[in-house]
Amino acid sequence: MNALTLYPNCSLGGMTSVYLNRCITQPEDGFSFIFLNDKGGMNAFQSLPNTEVRIVRKDRLNSFLEYILDKIEYDEIRLTSLPALPTLLSKIENTKVIYEFHTSSLDIIKKELEQLSLEHVDEIWVPSKYLKVMVEGNLSTPKEIKVVRNLANPEVFNTTSAPKFEYNFPSQEVPIFWIGRFDKGKNYKDFFRALSLLEDKYVGYVILSMENDSTRYAEAIGELAFYNLSNRVKFFLNLSQQEIADFYKSSIKVNGLFCSTSLAESFGYGVLEASMAGLPVVAYDVGGLAEHLEYGYDIKMINVGDTVSLAKAIASLDNKEGLS
């Protein structure tokens, strides 16, 4: 199988993780990728022999596609966040056109469906049963929707292999990992609120991806000062999958855990990867996160906004009284 995938941004997280893990778990298939913007993720594909990656400017995309599709036959063309493209691909024969939704934003789903020419799309893919219901409820005409669960790399996120780099956490410290961006949806403020209710030994490890808005950084620093957490939160930028997994595995000996305060999740990659690496997880019960429980992972689900219960759940995982 030979697939061409198109998506706006090539970063180290987000959709790049989805694509990377497909390449890793399907080594017999060929994957070509076209991104419109290089956001620091190009190197992630370098070691994979079954991939080809290009960055093509948006104003050159149509002409480049016409050129490449005249030269190469693909079994599937997969699109995400590019709803105008299926019309361009309508003349291609014997190639399945797939449109993928990975967003948890209903507004974005509605906006993309308004622009999407469904008659030129063969299938719609979503990563969870939750998102399938969301998309189905907004379709103007029936279309097959398949749940294609996102994959995490088991060679990196597992409980059997040791970290390649051992991070030495202070023995008196309990690290709590949070991953995302400083936006409303990821809801870092509730993470800070919960952390402020815990003893000083609990330290937040905030892993940021594609966060380059200085005003949002400034607001986050202000929140830390407000909750008197300036010395209890550490920031890490654009870590690779291996670096994140090393963090998780190294923290297990000091009772490390993962916390998600997202207000919406179409799938929940962060929760899945942490669980696969052996970390207990505390998360707001939103979107498709509960579907991970079907695979036996240790995830405590908390009602959205209940930061007191969130803090108590974190303390209970340390088997000690941890609330201040």
Per-residue pLDDT tens digits for 20-45: 889 998 999 999 999 999 888 888 88
Per-residue pLDDT tens digits for 216-262: 889 999 999 999 999 999 999 878 889 999 999 999 999 999 999 99
Per-residue pLDDT tens digits for 95-114: 999 999 999 899 999 999 99
Please tell me the pTM assigned to this model.
0.84
Average pLDDT per consecutive 10 residues, the chain (324 residues; last block may be shorter):
94 83 92 91 87 94 91 94 90 90 93 93 95 94 92 90 93 94 92 96 90 85 95 90 94 95 92 94 95 89 97 83 47
> Do residues 167 and 250 lie in contact, with contact meaning Cβ atoms separated by under 8 Å?
yes
E strands, the chain, in order: 2-10, 30-38, 51-55, 76-80, 96-100, 123-126, 145-147, 174-180, 202-208, 233-237, 257-260, 281-284, 299-302
Q: Which residues pair with 5 in a beta bridge?
A: 33, 78
